[in-house]
Amino acid sequence: MTPSIEVKELSIFVGKQCLVESLSLRLMPGMPLTILGQTGSGKSLLAQAIMGLLPDEMTLKGEILYEGQPLLTLPKAKRQALWGRALAMLPQEPWHALDPVMKSQQQVAEVFELVGGLEEEQAQEKASQALTEMGLAPAKDKIPSQLSGGMAQRLAFLAATAAGGDLILADEPTKGLDYSRRDQIVALLQSRLVDGSLLTITHDVDVARQLGGELIVMCQGQVVEQGDAATILAHPQADYTRQLLAAEPSSWNKVSARTQSSAEPIVTLEKVALSRGGNRLFSDLSFQLHAGEILGIVGDSGTGKSSLGDLLLGHLQPDQGRIRFAERYKRHQLLKLYQDPPAAFAPHIPLGRLLHEVINLHGLDAAQIPRLMARLKLSEGLLSRTALEVSGGELQRIALLRILLLKPVLLFADEPTSRLDLISAQRIMELLVEIAREEGCALVLVSHDPILVEKVCDQVIRIAQPI
């Protein structure tokens, strides 16, 4: 059988620096291939290379064949003609796949119509049906900025796959989704395998387990292990794979209890209710948050976790009830770490310049930058690049760095490890806990992972599905 995609000794360079080194793989129809690996190890670049979407400054060595046909020498227009019809890519950042001013249903209908060749009415009907199946019917007339992160993720999936490309490249399709939505995406990906091929990049070991098939594990631009997924996950051979699997939250130590203090809480909520867009998100919510305390928030996609954050930071007012802030803190120390890191950065300005703007604006000590870079395991070279020129996990850590420069008193961290491999996720969570405890920062942690929340948090609030 001809592989759908064959990659032969592919290396990717920027200048003289090698980002991916001599990688080979065969993607067979009906047999899922999954890539797990370290953040920044070249997974997304590989997917972009297959699509023909690498930035111009990068050079390639090696070969990529699509159904036996060399892709790298194909004229650009012919490669682009494959997009959506033959090759469908779900990019790591859902926002990159969506039109920011187009309503949800229209985004999907257009793909059915323009790429899939359906009549307008039929395209609308199919789009409406697809949105309903994904639990997105209430969002059909919303534009991307009005969607929650998990909703945007699901919508991007529909838009990318609507035209029925028989080869799907999915870059972290389940990040930040609660378990039921995650399993739904996995089932959808699997359903495409019946007459297609699937390459999935993920940090979620359970997703790799559920997909089965073949597995590649990458670290620092290289493949460290490759073979049958179930065998590797049960009996990892490479040191890196062993460390990765040992870093699942279920094996983390429970964070030790916070030392109680009698100081006034940083924020107090009394019987708070909030609605958005005419829908009641939650009501009767009461709790207090003290310095150094870690509060977990769990709840399904779209239930209002991020909106609760906006309330805690004073960006939204409750419909009912009261929120009281301790007066001794400044408002700029109540901070939010955004769920989607690209949303927090101007795309074309070097990251180092953006960090220095914060330093200058608030009169901070610039020596904090290298210290925090080291703690977050970020290399200094990243600072001369823009947000579009670093990996998803690198940008997520730079977003955290920028927030930490400001020494937050209350930090609302929305899925702060969603784009990180398990080893990095564990390290970053340890760092956040350390900062909360040592510097008396109240940390509000939103996560789709109840095990992680249970290991790390002092108290947990569950937001139920609105009625």
- Per-residue x/- mask for Mg ion, residues 386 to 425, rule CB under 5 A? -----xx---------------------------------
- With respect to ligand ATP, which residue has the nearer C-beta, 111 or 216? 216
With CB under 6 A as the contact rule, the residue among 4, 10, 23, 40 that binds ligand ATP is 40
In the complex, what is the shortest distance from the CB of residue 341 to ligand ATP, in angstroms, rounded to a whole number? 10
292 counts as binding Mg ion under rule CB under 5 A:
no
246-250 own/partner pairs: CB under 8 Å, 24+ apart: 247/421, 247/422, 247/423, 247/425, 247/426, 248/205, 248/422, 249/422, 249/425, 249/426, 249/449, 249/451, 249/452, 249/455, 250/451
Partner that binds at residue 19, options ligand ATP, Mg ion, none, CB closer than 5 to 8 Å by kind: ligand ATP
- Going across the sheet that includes 334-337, the strands are 334-337, 410-414, 442-446, 294-298, 459-462
d(CA 233, CA 225) in angstroms, rounded, equals 11
The 3-state secondary structure of 100-138, one letter per residue: CCCCHHHHHHHHHHHHCCCCHHHHHHHHHHHHHHCCCHH
- Report residue 128 as tokens: 């409406």
Partner that binds at residue 55, options Mg ion, ligand ATP, none, CB closer than 5 to 8 Å by kind: ligand ATP
Partner that binds at residue 117, options ligand ATP, Mg ion, none, CB closer than 5 to 8 Å by kind: none
The CB density around residue 368, as the number of other CB atoms within 10 Å, is 16
Residue listed under structure tokens 């028989």: 166
- Going across the sheet that includes 33-37, the strands are 87-90, 167-171, 197-201, 33-37, 214-219, 222-228
The CB density around residue 80, as the number of other CB atoms within 10 Å, is 13
- Stretch of 37-45, 97-105, 280-288, 340-348 contacting ligand ATP, by CB under 6 A: 37-45
37 counts as binding Mg ion under rule CB under 5 A:
no
42 counts as binding ligand ATP under rule CB under 6 A:
yes
14 counts as binding ligand ATP under rule CB under 6 A:
yes
- Stretch of 227-235, 277-285, 301-309, 385-393 contacting ligand ATP, by CB under 6 A: 385-393
With CB under 6 A as the contact rule, the residue among 44, 174, 303, 426 that binds ligand ATP is 44
- With respect to ligand ATP, which residue has the nearer C-beta, 55 or 370? 55
53 counts as binding ligand ATP under rule CB under 6 A:
no
- Report residue 404 as tokens: 């930490």
Q: What's the Rg (C-alpha) of the chain?
A: 23
232-253 CB burial, b ≥16 within 10 A, e <16: bbeebeeebbeebbebbbeebe
With CB under 5 A as the contact rule, the residue among 34, 38, 41, 44 that binds Mg ion is 44
In the complex, what is the shortest distance from the CB of residue 51 to ligand ATP, in angstroms, rounded to a whole number? 13
With CB under 6 A as the contact rule, the residue among 394, 414, 415, 449 that binds ligand ATP is 394
- Stretch of 137-145, 180-188, 383-391, 438-446 contacting ligand ATP, by CB under 6 A: 383-391
Partner that binds at residue 39, options ligand ATP, Mg ion, none, CB closer than 5 to 8 Å by kind: ligand ATP
Cβ 132 vs Cβ 125: under 8 Å = no
Contact residues for Mg ion (CB under 5 A)?
44, 92, 391-392
> Interface residues with ligand ATP (CB under 6 A)?
14, 19, 37, 39-45, 55, 92, 385, 389-394, 419
